Structure 1
Amino acid sequence: MSSQTETVEADIIARILSRRLLPGDRIDDGNLRERLGVSATPVREAFMRLDAKRIVTRRSSGGVFVTRLDLADLLRLNEALSEIEGAIAFHAAQRISRAQLGVLETAIARCEAAGQDANLYYDANIDFHHGLIAACANPALEEAAYGFALRIIGYIVAKLDLPGQIEKSNLEHWRIHEAVASGQPDLARDLMIRHIKISDSVAIGIMGRMAEGAPRIA
């Protein structure tokens, strides 16, 4: 794979992570070529790689789009992510340092300061989960969590935009923090799985919110 292909792939992923590209959005290959100063070949190769990872979808009718999930896909991916995040919390509770606990506390404070802004809250929420990943110190679990989360970021933000979800998330963060800080790995894992896993009714609410237009970074 050429360095230009890597550049294009990284750019698309960065725009998905920042929610400037949301599920269902068409990716403008002409804009990529012009903005990154590359030819059509690395753009096409990047699309192929991301399609293989199911991050984008190439349509036979033409065009490449950020992959949109149906309800069953969302539930399956969320179930897998909840188990991975649970394992991360389990190991973090066994390995976390005082400095790393401070990172979690700072992230929780940022979450509380975000108010009801789903996008601001999501960024602070990511800091909390990244803090646990760092404490877990397992690159394989980090890679797995990143891969699944990348495919459902837009849906996570849509969940946070539903009534009561930010308040619920804040409370769960403190409980997870307490379990990790007190060295209770089994409890930390169980709390994290419940924190990540969504019910069928919440999933339906997320899909409805996505249909209306999920919160977007301008």
Structure 2
Amino acid sequence: MESAIHTAAPPEAGRSRGSLAEDVCRRIADEIVLGQLAPGTRLDEVTLAARFAVSRTPVREALKQLAIMGLVETRPNRGSVVAALSVEQLNHMFEAIAELEAACARHAALRMSEADRAAMRQHHAEGRAAMQAGDIERYEAANVALHATIIRGCYNPVLIDMATSLRDRVSSFRRTQFRNLERMSESFEEHSVIVEAILAHDVITTYREMRSHLISARSATTRAAPAWGNAPATAAAPLPPDPLP
């Protein structure tokens, strides 16, 4: 099954192999999440390379990354195919990322450098401008940068690696929530509370608000993304009460 999206990609000349692979990966991931590539669809390297106007190398790298994200699987005699997805799988990933990012944020409230805090404020300001303009792409970029800055600000390499890896796996799903402009505004307000708590070195509020923010993102994402294979949608199990007093 071919995707419903047929917009040609920019030509390969002048772009690095890494950036080409990232672009192809993102575009295929978005089509999978939005249901434009159905579960079981074969992803042929030659066809995709022609469609995106790139060589097979960045396509091959993109498919490897999509497999790591759980969006693509390799089957004998068929090669890469779109994986079957379920609400339950996504809920499990969001439960994990809520706990991991909340822990990162709690440490960041005490460990961030002044440069980190300045970068966080800048990304939050960029999010405000994008939200006010209704610019989904700019808001998503600011959102990614803000969360990445907070994660790195925990200065715990194990937490950073785990949180970043899981964020990468759910990134395409998280983008779908901002198709609803009301959710963009809600997300910005949630960010405001988190940023304020971090700047005040308030570890308890930071932890709770980041955790709550990601629970809200989970709900918004599962409402916005239709690509859950043929499995019936199941309600997310509630997270246990937060462990802080």
Q: TM bucket by the smaller chain?
A: 0.7 to 0.9
1:95 aligns with 111
**8 Å contact kept, 2:98–2:211:** yes
SS of match in other structure, 1:22? helix
Is the 2:174–2:221 Cα contact (8 Å) retained in structure 1? Answer: no
Q: Unpaired runs of 5+ in structure 2?
A: 1-15, 229-245
Q: Give, in whole Å, the separation in 2 of the partners of 1:145 and 1:179.
A: 20
1:78–1:198 CA contact under 8 A, matched in 2: no
> Offset at 1:55?
4.8
**Does residue 106 of structure 1 match 2:113?**
no
Residue deviations 1:112-154 (CA, integer Å, cap 9, x gap): 1113232221111011111112211122222212221222222
2:240 match: none
Secondary structure class of the residue paired with 1:136: coil
1:156 maps onto 2:174 in alignment:
yes
Following TM superposition, by how much is the alpha carbon of 1:99 offset from its aligned partner in structure 2, in angstroms? 1.9
Letter in 1 for 2:151: I
Distance 1:160 1:50, change over 3 A: closer
1:62 is displaced (CA, Å) by 2.4
SS in 2 for 1:21: helix
* Distance in 2 separating the partners of 1:193 and 1:74: 16
Matched, 1:21 2:39: no
Where does residue 194 of structure 1 map in the other structure?
A: 212
- TM-score for both structures, normalised by structure 2: 0.67
Matches within 5 A, 1:68-83: 69-83=85-99
**Structure 1: which 5+ residue stretches go unaligned?**
1-6, 212-218
Q: Alpha-carbon deviation of 1:51?
A: 3.5
| Percent sequence identity over aligned pairs | 25
Change (3 A) 1:68 1:163: farther
1:54 to 42, 51, 70: 70
| One-letter amino acid of the counterpart of residue 161, structure 1 | R
Which residue identity is paired with 2:86?
D
Count of residue correspondences: 198
RMSD of the alignment, in Å? 3.3
Residue 223 of structure 2 aligns to a residue in which SS? helix
Amino acid aligned to 2:178? L
Alignment-mate amino acid for residue 207 of structure 1: A
Q: Which has the higher helix share?
A: 1
Map of 1:135 onto structure 2: 153
TM-score normalised according to structure 1 size:
0.74
User: Structure 1 104/11 Cα, relative in aligned 2: closer, same or farther at 3 Å?
Assistant: same
Taking a change above 3 Å as real, the CA distance of residues 186 and 65 of structure 1, as seen in their structure-2 partners, is: farther
Per mean C-alpha deviation after superposition, the further-off stretch among 146-155 and 124-133 is 146-155
Q: Which residue of 2 aligns with 1:123?
A: 141
Q: Is the 8 A contact 2:105 2:210 kept in 1?
A: yes
Deviations 1:152-182 (A, max 9, x none): 2221111121252111111111111111111
